Amino acid sequence: MRTPLRPLPRILEARRQGANPDLIEGENRARRREQWREQTRGRASARLGLLAVAFACAYAVIGVRMGHLAAARPVEPIASAPGVEITAQRADIVDRHGRLLATNMSTHALYAHPQELTDPAGTARALAAIFPEMNAEDLARRFADGRRFLWLRKVMSPEQMQKVHEIGDPGLLFAPREMRLYPNGTLAAHVLGGAGFGTEGVQSAEVIGVAGIERALDSELRDPARAGRPLELSLDLSVQATVEEVLAAGIGLMNAKGGAAIVMDVRTGELVALASAPAFDPNDRPVPLVGKDDEASDSPLFNRAVQGVYELGSTFKIFAAAQAMELGLATPATMIDADAPMTWGKYRITEFDGHNYGPLLSLADVIAKSSNVGIAHVALMIGGERQKAFLAALGFFAPTPVELVEAQGARPLVPSRWSEIVTITASYGHGMSASPLHLAAAYAAIANGGVYLKPTLLRRQAPVSGTRVMSEDVAAKARAMLRGVVTHGTASFADVPGYEVAGKTGTADKPKKSGGYYKDKVINTFASMFPASDPRYVLIVTLDEPVDTTGSKPRRTAGWTAVPVAAEMIRRVAPLLGLRPQVEPVRAVALTAGAN
């Protein structure tokens, strides 16, 4: 109930007593102000209290959240965008038709926490029973020497993993692994190389290429931007398999130590097959030879097609002949002095087996009969400088640019001083060494009309441009000469009906480590192209230390060893490459006009 400021009874009373009634009003005003102040303070403190509670709640929420974040286990952010693939894998490798050459497989590594093992001795025995390479006592000793972590195996099969599960010891643990798998085994082993583990952790391990294309294109294969797109090689699985099969059979028949074969598409520079024998299994690479006396070429890891830097012998003769024609010094019919033996300073240049094809021989016959003396005279007509420049243009002075890590190390062996005797010997492939792949690239230049193309192992979709090293006309004449070698020269076994093989044989004595040459160890090479009228492919076959023992005395010339192997290869491979035989292999039944 609100009291009035001037209550009438009190005013009247005060007036009667002669006091000032304003005092009563002032007193009441003061009381009323006091009441208002009390009320306002109460309301304000209630508001402040509410605000304090709100702030306390907010801080509490933040505090609890911070505590939760600090205490919780970190979680990987989830990529929730649809279609994002799991691309941490190394890219697959496929052949030109998409057939798988290398892929990944998930497997597990095995490790142990020795302090958590319930029965170290029993576990060691059980593990030794599962894995043949483990030794129970050795393992038990390592379990007991106080270490807290121990890798036991890098990869294992699902069966082995199941057996380890069955041991049931809590101290044995599995680590997920990606493993490189080569489903075709030894096929194209030297191209693929192999892969191993790099940095290893418990959760994952890095897979790195250790040789071949796996090493050369390692960063590209591991690039996450590939998004699972496989690496397409130029190899053709069926051609490669056939080449390897024929090469292995040929090495067996010719009692050779090893061999190499290359099939190259002359229009694109793609290598359709590249084989070296003996081969190895890239799933389980053999240990490289490290002994002082070991020769690298004795290991199956050695890629004879790329690393095998040999003197390639008479296969080089066509280069001197082509250059002489290119320079206008000779035509296929020009008569060349081929009177053997030829004496140059203190050197004597002779023909195979002491023959003498002279006194004069046409350039085409110099190639067909493989006359050293004849081609030596041609080389002297050309001169050392020009010969060197021509061979350099054909790629004989640099490592091949193919995508194999071994290729960079295989630099051709060239004499430092290009004297006249080097000019002579280089014209018939002695005194300088190159790999069969160099030879394939150079022959491809003759086959495709005079353009040098870089050999590649990656699939090319369209013809590529290269550098012109000779005119089309000269290339065609050189091809006709090479065809002559097969029709009436040293490579008569290479005449595969329907495929017009053209090529050149080469036989070179192997150099001794101590200097000089072995008398009974040779490298036989046959460099060929088919079909000669419009070549599509170049085939190089090289055999290491072959000998044909079917005759009365051992024969070691390429015409008897490498050529039959190459002919069988062409017969088997050309249909696979989709080449129709140009002449009907079976004569149609002759039609005769019947009497009517």
Partner 1 sequence: MRAVFHVLSFLAVIAAGFWAYRENYATQTAMREVRTLQREITALRDSLAMMRAEWAYLNRPERLRELVVLNFDALQLLPMEPAQFANPADLAYPPPTIPAIPAPDGQAFDGIDDGATALLPHDGESS
Q: Judged by CB, which is closer to partner 1: 191, or 442? A: 191
314 part of the active site = yes
Residue 16: count of CB within 10 angstroms of its CB: 8
Give Cβ neighbours of residue 457 (< 8 Å, ≥ 6 apart): 191, 213, 233, 234, 235, 270, 271, 274, 402, 403, 404
Q: Is 203 in the site for partner 1 (CB under 8 A)?
A: no
Catalytic residue of the set 234, 314, 362, 433: 314
Q: Is 497 in the site for partner 1 (CB under 8 A)?
A: yes
Site string for partner 1, 516-555 (x = CB under 8 A): ----------------------------------------
Q: Is 334 in the site for partner 1 (CB under 8 A)?
A: no
Site string for partner 1, 175-194 (x = CB under 8 A): ------x-xxxxx-------
First to last CA, the chain: 149
Return the residues of window 63-82 that contact partner 1 according to CB under 8 A. Answer: 78, 80
DSSP string, 330-371: --TT-EEE--SSEEETTEEE--GGG----SEEEHHHHHHHT-
Among 237, 402, 501, 522, binds partner 1 (CB under 8 A): 237
Distance CA 74, CA 372 (A): 77
Are the beta carbons of 440 and 262 closer than 8 angstroms?
yes
Question: Which amino acid makes up residue 145?
Answer: D
Give the count of residues interacting with partner 1 (CB under 8 A).
34
Residue 47: count of CB within 10 angstroms of its CB: 10
Provide the CA 44 distance to its chain's centre, in angstroms. Answer: 81
DSSP string, 69-96: HHHSPP-PPP--STT-----SPPPEE-T
Work out how close the CB of 480 gets to partner 1 at its nearest, in angstroms, rounded to a whole number. Answer: 22
Provide the CA 80 distance to its chain's centre, in angstroms. Answer: 35
Return the residues of window 576-595 that contact partner 1 according to CB under 8 A. Answer: 576, 580-581, 585-586
Quickly list H helices, 450-561.
472-488
Q: Judged by CB, which is closer to partner 1: 313, or 498? A: 498
Q: Is 408 in the site for partner 1 (CB under 8 A)?
A: no
The piece of 101-109, 160-168, 306-314, 352-360 that touches partner 1 (CB under 8 A) is: 101-109
Distance CA 149, CA 113 (A): 5
Work out how close the CB of 62 gets to partner 1 at its nearest, in angstroms, rounded to a whole number. Answer: 19
Structure tokens at 466: 């290269």
Distance CA 430, CA 399 (A): 18
Give Cβ neighbours of residue 262 (< 8 Å, ≥ 6 apart): 271, 273, 274, 275, 305, 436, 437, 440, 538, 539, 540
Q: Give residue for tokens 């004879």.
A: 304
Peptide bond into 341 cis (omega under 30): yes
Q: Is 416 in the site for partner 1 (CB under 8 A)?
A: no
Distance CA 303, CA 319 (A): 25
For 466, the 3-state DSSP assignment is coil
Among 11, 14, 24, 100, binds partner 1 (CB under 8 A): 100
Among 245, 298, 420, 509, binds partner 1 (CB under 8 A): 245
Q: Is 278 in the site for partner 1 (CB under 8 A)?
A: no
Work out how close the CB of 532 gets to partner 1 at its nearest, in angstroms, rounded to a whole number. Answer: 15
Among 120, 450, 498, 546, binds partner 1 (CB under 8 A): 498
Structure tokens at 2: 């609100």
Work out how close the CB of 584 gets to partner 1 at its nearest, in angstroms, rounded to a whole number. Answer: 8
The piece of 199-207, 235-243, 408-416, 434-442 that touches partner 1 (CB under 8 A) is: 235-243
Q: Judged by CB, which is closer to partner 1: 381, or 579? A: 579
Q: Is 474 in the site for partner 1 (CB under 8 A)?
A: no
Q: Is 298 in the site for partner 1 (CB under 8 A)?
A: no
For 413, the 3-state DSSP assignment is strand
Return the residues of window 79-98 that contact partner 1 according to CB under 8 A. Answer: 80, 85-86
Return the residues of window 555-574 that contact partner 1 according to CB under 8 A. Answer: 571-572, 574
Work out how close the CB of 385 gets to partner 1 at its nearest, in angstroms, rounded to a whole number. Answer: 45
Task: Give the interface with partner 1 as residue ranges (CB under 8 A).
Answer: 78, 80, 85-86, 99-100, 103-106, 181, 183-187, 237-238, 241-242, 245, 496-499, 571-572, 574-576, 580-581, 585-586
Residues serving a catalytic function are 314
